[in-house]
Amino acid sequence: MKKLLLPAAIAALSGAPVFADTAIGLAGDRSLVSIDLATGQVTGVTEVDYDGRLHGIDYRPATDTLIGVTEGFDVVNIDPETGTWEALVTMDTELPIEDGAVVIVDINPAADALRFMSGITNHRVNLTTGAVMVDGDLSFTDGTEGMPMVGGTAYSNSFGRPEATAMYNIDTELHALLRQTAPNDGDNTVLGMPDVMFEGPVAFDIVTDAEGMNTAWLSANGMLHTISLEDGSITESWEIEGLDVTLRDITVMTAAD
């Protein structure tokens, strides 16, 4: 694993990174790319047995499963080793998605609900019934001009069913880390700018260990980074060895104790 330790890396990160996990990246229409975070090595690629495109994937900590969202707006459980899947729920309201637009698929671990967004449209999905709550459009409440251009989303405390969580976004227009301070209202504030200009899709996730330590992972420009959730600064960077595709989503499957 080729690793670059950036200045003030350890001080900027809230605790040491969690490495005893496997990252699952989504590439193409339905390819799952397994990455060993301890080595930065691609360990395998699995095709999901689905005739279509997955909008995104995420780890659901309440059930310890990988979920995905299909073109038909079905939420499905996916076996990352075999690519087989089973339907969970179908959304009762579709998300409007422009051609080529980024789609956000991310689990709120405290509510055990799905945050499903594209553009500035902000949906919340009940994973038991499929009922969709159309929440407030994404906007800035800190004086930042324009609208958020969210390319990746992650929640903190994604271990089991936490009492509290916080929602963070990567803005690909500003090249910035955002905090969605009122997720259901769509309110966003800028926390800081990672030291990287994004080219193409990004992928973002936060892994939480059993002690409650959060580590934020960002995949961009063919690299894997850990970033500070305080100001968005990059703390460490890795080349992903064996990666020959572009990741458009990523989630970390937490290792069992």
Token pair 């709120």 is found at 108
Q: What is the DSSP letter of 158?
A: -
State how far the Cα of 254 lies from the Cα of 60, in Å rounded to an integer.
10
Strands 187-192 and 139-140: parallel
CB 134, CB 113: distance < 8 Å: no
Residue 15 has pLDDT above 80, yes or no: no
Give me the mean pLDDT over the 109-128 stretch. 99
End-to-end CA distance of the chain: 24
State how far the Cα of 22 lies from the Cα of 86, in Å rounded to an integer.
22
pLDDT at 189: 98
State how far the Cα of 31 lies from the Cα of 158, in Å rounded to an integer.
24
State how far the Cα of 138 lies from the Cα of 173, in Å rounded to an integer.
14
Residue 9 has pLDDT above 60, yes or no: no
* pLDDT tens-digit series, residues 89-110: 999 999 999 999 999 999 999 9
* pLDDT tens-digit series, residues 181-221: 999 999 999 999 988 888 889 999 999 999 999 999 999 98
Mean pLDDT of the chain: 91
Overall CATH class of domain 3-254: mainly beta
